[in-house]
Structure 1
Amino acid sequence: MTRKLIAGVAVLTLWAGSAVAQERREANADMRGLTVQLGGGVEGYTNALASDINPGVAYGATLVLKPTKVLGLEVGYSGAVNNFDRNSVAASVTTSGPDIIRNGGQAVATVGLTAAPLQPYLLAGLGLSHYNVRGSAPGFQDDNVGNVPVGAGLRLYAGNFTADARINYNVLFDQEFAAVPTADVSLPVGETFSKGGSYTGTLNFGATW
């Protein structure tokens, strides 16, 4: 009986110590307030667009407002550079560098699945991007494209430092920048556009005030 009592006290002591440590970490983590983040990663395309455009480099800057430990509101800039797949697109590029440059902005809401300093979360929002197609490629042209980003991520709060890893899929409103001859989406006006969306995976670092 004495051994069981001692074991029980030891377990309770360890549990209490763990709970206190967790409370201290939460108390020291700036999970509310205004956060500025910078980051980068990869951006690619899906379905028919994936066969024409290779994955490329993504980058961005984000301003995050968290009124609570769980709810977040974001506005930010995002960009990406991609090259055509020369096996499927007969492009004539007259300048060096990437074939497609995307610059855009988005507003996103995030909901944390926990209130802990290591916080998984879901996201959804609305964005608008300008696609600049460099050189000449049949069916591709400059265009403004709207998108709905949906995805998930994982944030780490340590003091006023924040690290954020996320991946999101972008549902494109239209793909008029890619009206390729092999398109698989037909519109009433007779134009055809390549079907597909885009995905973005980034790692971001920032500070909270």
Structure 2
Amino acid sequence: MTKKLVAGAGIAVLSLWAGSAMAREGRESSADMRGLTVQLGGGVEGYTSALGQDIDPGVAYGATIVLKPTKVVGLELGYSGAANNFDTQLPLTGTSGPDVLRNGAQAVATVGLTAAPLQPYVLAGLGISNYNVRNAAPGFQDDNVGLVPLGAGLRLHIGDFVADARLNYNLLFDQEFAGTVPPANVDLPGNETFSSGGSYTGTLNLGATW
């Protein structure tokens, strides 16, 4: 009797394990993790160091085209924008509404830490943004700013559907839109230099894969 119980328990455990493995394989096989993905998203964008003292966090938004030749590697080309207000301590003169509008483009590479449908990943890239200062403030003006985005995220594939949550920090270099911000102690080729203040962006992006 004991042997029959042990055998029965063993068969039950094996059956559960096999069923779980088959379900997991089914989810993985049905997840479209390769191909071309189009995503739209939004979230929050803010600034650090001296920039963070003068610019409040605001709304971020964007659209991205993602090419994944493998389940792990992704190449992205995207548009991103943000609308932020200056801190109320600054003496402002100008229009109402968002004080700083940013529009930019960036190219990013992502590398997944697993090949599973729920995939954590890291990212790095290069981009450029145009800052439109709508409300006059001391030390701020319209300018084009280069940036190096670095970050991490979590991507979920369910069939053709993709949900992507990410957080990245943007190293800004040679920005003149904030002339009062000192440069960092990192020199770049030519006359470029990183700013001592950067920006951060957290977004949730939804899309589909073809």
TM-score normalized with structure 2 length = 0.90
- Cα distance change, pair 72–13 in 1 and its aligned pair in 2 (3 A): same
Residue 23 of structure 1, CA deviation? 0.8
Q: Give the partner amino acid of 1:137.
A: A
- Higher strand proportion: 2
- Residues 1-209 of structure 1 mapped to structure 2, 5 A cutoff: 1-87=3-89, 89-93=90-94, 95-180=95-180, 183-185=181-183, 195-209=196-210
May I ask how many residue pairs the two structures share in their alignment?
200
Identity across the alignment (%) = 74
Give the drift of 1:194.
Answer: 6.7
In 2, Cα distance between equivalents of 1:131 and 1:73? 25
- CA offsets, 1:66-121, max 9 Å, x none? 0011110000100000000012x21212x222000000000000111111111111
Distance in 2 (alpha carbons) for counterparts of 1:170 and 1:140: 19
Deviation at 1:186, TM superposition (A): 8.4
Q: Is the 8 A contact 2:170 2:200 kept in 1?
A: yes
Task: Check whether the contact 1:178–1:194 (CA below 8 A) recurs between aligned residues.
Answer: no
Partner AA of 1:11 in structure 2: V
Partner letter of residue 53 of structure 1? I
Q: Distance in 1 between matches of 2:133 and 2:149?
A: 22
TM-score (norm 1): 0.91
| Deviations 1:7-63, CA, capped at 9 Å, x for gaps | 222222111111100111111111000000000000000011111000000000000
1:190 matched residue in structure 2: none
Deviations 1:143-185 (A, max 9, x none): 11111101111111111111111000001113321112xx444
* Local SS of the residue matching 2:86: coil
Asked if structure 1 preserves the Cα contact closer than 8 Å seen for 2:171 and 2:195, the reply is no
Runs of 4+ deviating beyond 4 Å: none
